[in-house]
C-alpha cells in the first residue's frame, strides 16, 4: 500500500473535524449560542462532543447552521420543514455516494470481463455462437368462445 493521501478524503476529514467551541461557532454562523443549543436539541445540527460533554462544531456544522438560518429567514421555512430538508439532503448524498460505488464496481467488472474475453484464444472465439436472449414479449391466451 502506498503512502499517498487522497486530497478529497483529507478535505472531508477537515470539514467534519469538530474544532469550534459553541461561542466561536455561534459567531461564525452569525447566531446566538443559545440558538445553537436549541438547534442541537431539535436535531437540526448535531455537533461532536468532548469527553466532558461540551459541544464542538465542525466547519460543516457551521455551514449547516448558516443554511438553517437562510432557509428560516429568507425562505420562511419553519424548523420542522428545515429538519426534513436536511434529512432528505443527507439521504440524497448517501444515495449519490452509493451510485458512485456501484458505477465503480460495474467498471471493474467490465474490465474483468474484457480481460477474460481477451484471454480466450482466437481459434475458440470463432466457434462460439451468440446466445439468443429469451423474449420479453407478452402473449395473451384467450379460449375460443364456443366452450
In this structure, the chain runs to a length of 147
Checking if the pLDDT of 7 tops 80, the result is: no
pLDDT given at position 8: 57
Checking if the pLDDT of 141 tops 50, the result is: yes
Angle between helices 59-73 and 7-16 (to 10 degrees): 70
Checking if the pLDDT of 4 tops 70, the result is: no
Question: 24 is written with which cell numbers?
Answer: 466561536
Q: What is the pTM of this model?
A: 0.62
pLDDT tens column, 77-136: 999 999 999 999 999 999 999 999 999 999 999 999 999 888 877 766 655 566 677 777
Amino acid at each position: 500500500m502506498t503512502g499517498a493521501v487522497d486530497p478529497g478524503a483529507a478535505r472531508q476529514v477537515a470539514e467534519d473535524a469538530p474544532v469550534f467551541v459553541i461561542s466561536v461557532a455561534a459567531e461564525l454562523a452569525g447566531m446566538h449560542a443559545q440558538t445553537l443549543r436549541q438547534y442541537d436539541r431539535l436535531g437540526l445540527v448535531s455537533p461532536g462532543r468532548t469527553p466532558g460533554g461540551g459541544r464542538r462544531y465542525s466547519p460543516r456544522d457551521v455551514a449547516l447552521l448558516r443554511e438553517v438560518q437562510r432557509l428560516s429567514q429568507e425562505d420562511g421555512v419553519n424548523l420542522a420543514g428545515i429538519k426534513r430538508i436536511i434529512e432528505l439532503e443527507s439521504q440524497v448524498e448517501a444515495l449519490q455516494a452509493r451510485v458512485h460505488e456501484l458505477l465503480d464496481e460495474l467498471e471493474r467488472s467490465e474490465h474483468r470481463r474484457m480481460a477474460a474475453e481477451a484471454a480466450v484464444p482466437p481459434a475458440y472465439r470463432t466457434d462460439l455462437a451468440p446466445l439468443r436472449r429469451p423474449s420479453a414479449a407478452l402473449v395473451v391466451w384467450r379460449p375460443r368462445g364456443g366452450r
